[in-house]
Amino acid sequence: MITVEKALQLTQSNIQKTTITSDILISKALGYVLAEDILSPIHMPPFRQSAMDGYALGSTDEKTFTLIGEVKAGDDTDPKLQSGEAIRIFTGAPVPSGAQAVIMQEKVTIQKNQVILSEHVVPNANIRPFGEQIKKDDIALTKGTVITAAGIGYLASLGITRILVYKKPSIAIIATGNELISPGQELKHGQIYESNSIMLSSALIKTGFTEEISYYKIEDEYDITLSILENVIDQYDVVLISGGISVGDYDFVGKALQALDVEEIFYKVKQKPGKPLYFAKKQGKTIFALPGNPASSLSCFYIYVLPSLLKISGYANYNLTRSTAISASHYQKKGQRAEFLKALVDHNNVTILDGQASSMLRSFALANTIVYLPEEVTEVNIGDTVTIINLP
């Protein structure tokens, strides 16, 4: 069994960022990583723009100006403006080329067709210069940037519609277990509802992995396990298996993966929940076998799988962020393993929730963070500083 830190290090060192890129619409680009430098096709702003509703002034040393016209946003005009003249102008409108400054409308009084300034105005005041934000052919966003909503807005403002990004991995989710039936059906004795695949796919969608997810449900039978795993490893970049990786007589995932000649990187981590986590590679494919217990599955997803998926997708910062908080709970560990505890953080205070068993999801459903207790921490007292792992 290896430590959490070793398991994290092994997943990271065995996962490479993809070299496959795809050209996509910016509307689909949220959470993707840029695979090219993006040059601005235009100057932004593309003309001298008024930053205020007010008056464009033909000079800055007078106090009184003669009002000679109006320019509003979207107008395609460049009215002549002489010294001592003013033009009514609105935010976003093109500033006439003869204008020396724009004054806010709150700073003037109007008498007939005279604009009288209540204070002095400096040259170029309230004018957004041509190309102030970015010049044509300058780099707008660099390769490696993670595309956010603001980034999409920025690209749209430059008139860009498509960008080259790193492809996100295709993912197969496989639920194993004879006892599992789909929610909506009636439970027979011995059966439980299958909840891991919908949970993992929701976590994938929430974190931006929507490209291609497929689902499989398999019985605890060696031959079926072998043939489905062979197929999915062939077809998908990442294979997430839930259950069947423990040491029971009907756990066939490990045996099947061994028969398929995958390269096992590790099996079993000194952690709770999630001890039977298994990680392997095969010809550029990534395979995680997650323990079937729901809270173990989801913990392992956040701690190991998600950073791996982010790394494959080109993220430079792929690890979940850790911070510290003050514990509002007392907690005594029962064993030696590192623990990931479902918790609620509010400001800087964190409460460890009841019901931490690996079979239980209720506490996870309420949690907004994970308290991480490394092996050496055996007890937490109220007021102690603890490490928290921020859930996405």
In the complex with ligand AMP, the residue whose CB is nearer, 134 or 174, is 174
In the numeric block, the tokens 């092996």 are attached to 375
Give yes or no for residue 78 binding ligand AMP (CB under 6 A): no
The mark string for 185-224 relative to ligand AMP (x by CB under 6 A, - otherwise) is -------x-xxx----------------------------
According to DSSP, the residues that pair with 370 across neighbouring strands are 342, 389
Please identify, among the stretches 61-69, 115-123, 242-250, 260-268, the one whose residues bind ligand AMP according to the rule CB under 6 A. 242-250
In the complex with ligand AMP, the residue whose CB is nearer, 192 or 366, is 192
Please identify, among the stretches 19-27, 100-108, 177-185, 202-210, the one whose residues bind ligand AMP according to the rule CB under 6 A. 177-185
**Closest alpha carbon to 237 in 204, 267, 270:** 204
Give yes or no for residue 375 binding ligand AMP (CB under 6 A): no
Residues, the chain, total? 392
The mark string for 247-266 relative to ligand AMP (x by CB under 6 A, - otherwise) is -x--x---------------
Give yes or no for residue 177 binding Mg ion (CB under 5 A): yes
Give yes or no for residue 243 binding ligand AMP (CB under 6 A): yes
**Alpha-carbon distances of 141 from 134, 145, 147, rounded to whole Å:** 11, 7, 9
Give yes or no for residue 365 binding ligand AMP (CB under 6 A): no
Q: Report, in Å, the least distance between residue 386 CB and ligand AMP.
A: 28
**Closest alpha carbon to 100 in 50, 146, 159:** 50
Q: What residues contact 324, with CB distance under 8 A and at least 6 apart? A: 385, 386, 387, 388
Give yes or no for residue 276 binding Mg ion (CB under 5 A): no
Give yes or no for residue 314 binding ligand AMP (CB under 6 A): no
Give yes or no for residue 254 binding Mg ion (CB under 5 A): no
Binding site for ligand AMP (CB under 6 A): 175-177, 179-180, 192, 194-196, 242-244, 246, 248, 251, 291-294
